[in-house]
Every structure is written in structure tokens, then in C-alpha cells.
């Protein structure tokens, strides 16, 4: 479970990023959210909890999947994220969608409240062991579905991280590791890759089985992140949790780093002037026991 300090770090970061979060024009969170809803098998009429709902990448596809006869509840630690998601739900006329401020590490709902508990690019921030996922099992009805997605950590044992393009990985990783140390290990899974439950499909399966889940499935799929310039890729990262890394770098050094990252990525343009960065995403689903 995340510490008070790490929770405060997440709160500040995502409140600050909320206005631009997932709004850069670069498709990332929304296709992951749509795929997670599909992968989770959420059905019409279901009651769904979206943990760390952000600007609604899972919330709105889930609302479509359950239909007006179902229910989707989104929770997020950031008041700003919740504000924007609530406004979007209202504008879309989705009366079966509710969003509220709540710490996703400790959801305050009755046991057996939901048919499905999902979380895209959120749970990996704080989950480190079976103890951290067991609260989601408790929220599920018998036979209910748990599903989550995260940038793949399968390569972290080799000093790489899925969100960094190969061309800039060695350039950015020292800054990411320093940011983790300064922040009290926000996203600490990378800081201690060997102990990361997401490091292999087998460790994922063991963690969820130890928490009491059954019928566990793990799939890694590539998502192409498409930009027209290295500068646009950097701008995109500012609309994600990577913003925390950039903001810890002294201004003049940051300008030089951004220029070099942009230059390296610009060399990857294809004949159409497009840069396509493949980002591996891990999709995980499991069930609560039926009895």
C-alpha cells in the first residue's frame, strides 16, 4: 500500500496535470481504456468501479458497454480530474455514470458491491503485492471480474521502460530514477525492478493468485504512439505522470535535454513525416471465486 507521502505526491501531480491530461491530441490513454473494457468482458447491465478514473479513458467506454441499465462509478484522488470527468459525463447525458473523489488504494464501498473493478494506467503506481490488490477482490461479487492495464514492465530487468522510446531511453532513465528518489519513489516499481510484481507474466499471476483471484490471464500488446515531431512527444509526456520527472530538472538543463530528446526522435520520422513509437501495454484480467 502506498505511503502517506506517496499519496500526497500523486495528489499534487495529477491535480496539476488534470487540465491537459489526455488532451494533447496524441492517442494513448483512450485506446488503452477502450481495449481494457473490451478485454475485461464488461457486459450490459453490470455495475463497474473504475479506479483512478482520470479524465475518463475507461469510464466512458465502460458506460457504453454496460448501457443505461448498468452503472459505472469512477474514483480518483484528484479533485481536478473528477471535476473534468463529471463535466464530460454531464455533457454526454450519462446519468448512469458517477465520479467522486476517493483514494483508489482504499476504496470506501461495501463488500461485494461491483460486478467488475477496473483500472487503466493507475493501479500499477501503488500496487506492490497481493495485499494491495486484495481490497479490489473484496469489492467484487462472486465470480466478478478484475481487470487492469499498465505500461509493460517486462523490459525493466534490462534497464528499459516501456514509455521511453529506445532512442532516448538511456538519456532519460537517469532523470526518471532521480525523480523517483526525490519524490519518495512515486512509481517505485521501476526503482526496484527485481521486486516488481509486473516484471513477468508469472509474477503477475502469482500476485493475483496470492490475493485470492482465479482464472488469471495476462496479455502484452503493442500500442503505437504516433507523433509528428520529437517536440510533440515531449509535450505529450507533460500531460502524463512523466510530468513529475520533467519538473524536477533544473530549467536550463531541462531545455537542453528536451532539445536533445526532440532531435533524436525527429530522426525516426518516416516518409510521411510521422514518428510511430511502439509502446507495449500489459492487460490483466482475473475473476473473484464463484463461491
Q: Which residue has the higher pLDDT, 22 or 187?
A: 22
Which residue, 19, 58, 281, 248, is CA-closest to 162?
Answer: 281
* Residue 5: band (very low, low, confident or very high) from pLDDT cuts 50, 70, 90: very low
pTM reported for the whole predicted model: 0.90
User: Dihedrals φ, ψ of 285, to 5°?
Assistant: -140, 150
The 10s digit of each residue's pLDDT in 130-145 is: 999 999 999 999 999 9
Whether pLDDT at 243 is above 80? yes
Burial (CB count <10 Å: 0-12, 13-18, 19+), residue 31? middle
What's the mean pLDDT when you consider all of the chain?
A: 89
pLDDT score for 6: 57
In 3-state terms, what secondary structure has residue 136? helix
Whether pLDDT at 267 is above 80? yes
The 10s digit of each residue's pLDDT in 145-168 is: 999 999 888 877 666 667 788 899
Q: What is the C-alpha to C-alpha distance for residues 57 and 30, in angstroms, rounded to an integer?
A: 5
Angle, CA 65 vertex, CA 124 and CA 86 arms, to 5°: 65
The 10s digit of each residue's pLDDT in 33-64 is: 999 999 999 999 999 999 999 999 999 999 99
Sign of the four-CA dihedral 244, 248, 250, 253: negative
Sequence-separated contacts (24+) of 16-20 with Cβ below 8 Å: 16/80, 16/243, 17/238, 17/239, 17/240, 17/241, 17/243, 18/55, 18/78, 18/80, 18/81, 18/83, 18/84, 19/80, 19/84, 20/238, 20/239
pLDDT score for 139: 98
Question: Which residue range(s) make up the domain with 190?
Answer: 4-287
pLDDT score for 130: 94
User: Dihedrals φ, ψ of 270, to 5°?
Assistant: -90, -170
In this prediction, residues 237-255 reach a mean pLDDT of: 89
User: Dihedrals φ, ψ of 49, to 5°?
Assistant: -105, 125
Cell numbers for 69, please give them.
441499465
The 10s digit of each residue's pLDDT in 182-241 is: 655 444 445 454 457 888 899 999 999 999 999 999 999 999 999 999 999 999 998 888
In this prediction, residues 252-276 reach a mean pLDDT of: 96
Q: What is the C-alpha to C-alpha distance for residues 113 and 185, in angstroms, rounded to an integer?
A: 32
- CATH number at 222 reads 3.40.50.150
273 CB neighbour count, 10 Å cutoff = 9
pLDDT score for 196: 74
CB contact at 8 A, 276 and 270: yes
Q: What is the C-alpha to C-alpha distance for residues 242 and 257, in angstroms, rounded to an integer?
A: 14
71 CB neighbour count, 10 Å cutoff = 19
Angle, CA 125 vertex, CA 36 and CA 50 arms, to 5°: 40
- The number of distinct structural domains making up the chain is 1
Q: What is the C-alpha to C-alpha distance for residues 112 and 116, in angstroms, rounded to an integer?
A: 10
Sign of the four-CA dihedral 170, 280, 187, 134: negative
Amino acid at each position: 500500500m502506498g505511503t502517506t507521502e506517496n499519496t500526497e505526491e500523486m495528489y499534487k501531480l495529477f491535480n496539476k496535470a488534470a487540465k491537459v491530461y489526455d488532451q494533447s491530441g496524441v492517442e494513448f490513454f483512450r485506446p488503452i481504456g477502450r481495449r481494457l473494457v473490451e478485454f475485461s468482458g464488461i457486459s450490459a447491465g453490470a455495475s463497474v468501479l473504475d479506479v483512478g478514473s482520470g479524465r475518463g479513458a475507461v469510464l466512458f467506454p465502460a458506460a457504453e458497454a454496460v448501457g443505461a441499465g448498468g452503472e459505472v462509478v469512477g474514483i480518483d484522488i484528484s479533485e481536478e480530474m473528477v471535476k473534468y470527468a463529471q463535466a464530460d459525463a454531464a455533457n454526454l447525458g450519462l446519468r448512469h455514470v458517477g465520479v467522486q473523489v476517493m483514494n483508489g488504494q482504499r476504496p470506501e464501498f461495501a463488500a461485494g458491491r461491483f460486478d467488475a473493478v477496473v483500472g487503466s494506467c493507475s493501479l500499477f503506481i501503488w500496487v506492490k503485492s497481493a495485499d494491495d490488490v486484495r481490497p479490489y477482490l473484496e469489492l467484487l461479487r462472486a465470480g466478478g471480474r478484475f481487470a487492469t492495464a499498465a505500461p509493460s514492465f517486462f523490459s525493466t530487468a534490462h534497464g528499459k521502460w516501456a514509455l521511453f522510446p529506445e532512442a532516448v531511453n538511456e538519456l532519460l532513465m537517469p532523470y526518471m530514477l532521480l525523480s523517483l528518489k526525490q519524490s519518495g519513489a512515486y512509481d517505485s516499481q521501476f526503482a526496484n525492478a527485481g521486486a516488481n510484481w509486473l516484471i513477468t507474466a508469472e509474477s503477475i499471476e502469482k500476485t493475483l493468485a496470492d490475493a485470492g483471484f482465479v482464472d488469471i490471464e495476462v496479455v502484452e500488446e503493442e500500442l503505437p504512439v504516433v507523433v509528428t515531431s520529437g517536440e510533440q512527444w515531449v509535450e505529450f509526456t507533460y500531460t502524463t505522470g512523466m510530468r513529475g520527472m520533467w519538473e524536477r530538472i533544473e530549467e536550463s538543463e531541462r531545455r537542453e535535454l528536451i532539445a536533445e530528446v526532440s532531435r533524436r526522435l525527429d530522426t525516426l520520422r518516416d516518409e510521411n513525416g510521422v514518428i510511430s513509437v511502439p509502446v507495449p501495454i500489459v492487460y490483466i484480467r482475473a475473476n473473484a471465486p464463484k463461491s
